[in-house]
């Protein structure tokens, strides 16, 4: 079962699963965009907005009614807001979290009873390079992905005894239409032009097909990772972020330890 299946990584993941002979429940706001994904006997397309808890519950019910179970749940729907943290309007920040965080929670709450009853399943949580790092202009997107990472870490510990696996998928720059789903922040300030809107060097982008292949490799492994960085840019960014955090811990160890004295 894949949310956000109408384009990008979600669509590629659905297509590869169908090509491998698997059954797919593809969910998008407009199911008409999903009709050409594959053979109808193994494909169920559903129109649902992840922000609508009732619609999401109905989608899960339809999935189970059609195929009897959910083996893999890909929480993939999402979009971004670009601009300095100060520039994002309140309505933009709340709308972003409604989809990227509360939409994820809606899907989890609907699907987890099925996975718990099965005592099996693999949840793929759509994060990104900004789930562990941040960059000027991407603060709001990073905030939503950090939230997903935090709840997913707790979720993984909660459901592991029930036979359910959780993997955070962290792709770097990917050649998809995600840029078309980025909402520019409403209040621009010239003070941020040099950091947020300065021309950026070209960054190599992974193909959605390769990203989907990486995801499927993790699903096929009996011991999948908690976090799956996809693409050299993402993997390097994660290493740099972790190295910087360890350096801070070491530099400030004396202050940290003095608190317990």
Q: What integer pLDDT is reported at residue 28 of this predicted model? A: 96
Radius of gyration of the chain, Cα coordinates, nearest whole angstrom: 19
DSSP structural state of residue 185: P
pLDDT surpasses 60 at 66: yes
Q: What integer pLDDT is reported at residue 177 of this predicted model? A: 53
The distance from CA 19 to its chain's CA centroid, rounded to whole angstroms, is 23
List the structure tokens of 39. 């053979």
- pLDDT band per the 50, 70, 90 thresholds, residue 231: very high
> For a pLDDT cut of 90, what percent of the chain falls above it?
87
Residue ranges covered by each domain of the chain: 2-232
Average of per-residue pLDDT across 239-250: 96
Q: Which superfamily is assigned to 2-232 in CATH?
A: NAD(P)-binding Rossmann-like Domain (3.40.50.720)
Could you tell me what percentage of the chain is helix, strand and coil, using 3-state DSSP and rounding each to the nearest 5? 55, 20, 25
Q: What integer pLDDT is reported at residue 183 of this predicted model? A: 77
pLDDT surpasses 80 at 252: yes
pTM, 2 dp: 0.93
Average of per-residue pLDDT across 106-121: 99
Mean pLDDT of the chain: 94
The per-residue pLDDT for range 149-182, each reduced to its tens digit, is: 999 999 999 999 999 999 999 999 887 655 556 7
Average of per-residue pLDDT across 39-51: 95
Q: What integer pLDDT is reported at residue 202 of this predicted model? A: 66
pLDDT surpasses 90 at 259: yes
Find the length of the chain. Answer: 261
Q: Tokens 């195929």, residue?
A: 67
The per-residue pLDDT for range 177-207, each reduced to its tens digit, is: 555 567 788 878 999 999 998 876 667 778 9
Average of per-residue pLDDT across 31-48: 93
Sheet holding 164-171, edge to edge: 43-47, 24-28, 2-3, 72-75, 121-126, 164-171, 227-230
Helix (H) or strand (E) holding 17: helix 8-19
Q: What integer pLDDT is reported at residue 123 of this predicted model? A: 99
Q: What integer pLDDT is reported at residue 196 of this predicted model? A: 92
Cα–Cα distance, 37 to 6 (Å, whole number): 9
Q: Are 107 and 73 in contact (CB under 8 A)?
A: yes
pLDDT surpasses 70 at 82: yes
Q: What integer pLDDT is reported at residue 181 of this predicted model? A: 64
Average of per-residue pLDDT across 45-68: 98
């Amino acid at each position: 079962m894949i949310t956000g299946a109408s384009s990008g990584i979600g669509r590629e993941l659905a297509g590869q699963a169908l090509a491998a002979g698997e059954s797919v429940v593809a969910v998008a706001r407009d199911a008409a965009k999903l009709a050409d994904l594959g053979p109808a006997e193994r494909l169920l397309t559903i129109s649902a907005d992840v922000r609508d808890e009732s619609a999401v519950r109905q989608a899960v019910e339809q999935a189970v009614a059609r195929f009897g179970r959910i083996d893999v749940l890909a929480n993939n729907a999402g979009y971004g807001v670009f601009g300095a943290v100060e520039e994002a309007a309140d309505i933009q920040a709340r709308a972003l979290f409604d989809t990227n965080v509360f939409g994820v929670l809606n899907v989890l709450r609907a699907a987890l009873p099925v996975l718990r009853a099965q005592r099996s399943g693999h949840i793929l949580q759509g994060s990104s390079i900004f789930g562990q790092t941040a960059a000027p202009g991407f603060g709001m997107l990073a905030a939503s992905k950090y939230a997903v990472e935090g709840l997913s870490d707790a979720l993984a510990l909660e459901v592991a005894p029930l036979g359910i696996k959780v993997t955070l998928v962290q792709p770097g720059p990917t050649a998809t239409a995600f840029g078309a789903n980025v909402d520019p922040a409403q209040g621009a300030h010239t003070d941020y032009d040099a950091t947020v809107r300065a021309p950026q060097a070209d960054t190599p982008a992974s193909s959605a097909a390769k990203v989907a292949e990486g995801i499927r490799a993790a699903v096929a492994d009996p011991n999948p990772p908690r976090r799956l960085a996809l693409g050299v840019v993402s993997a390097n960014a994660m290493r740099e972020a972790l190295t910087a955090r360890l350096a801070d811990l070491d530099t400030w160890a004396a202050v940290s330890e003095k608190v317990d004295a």
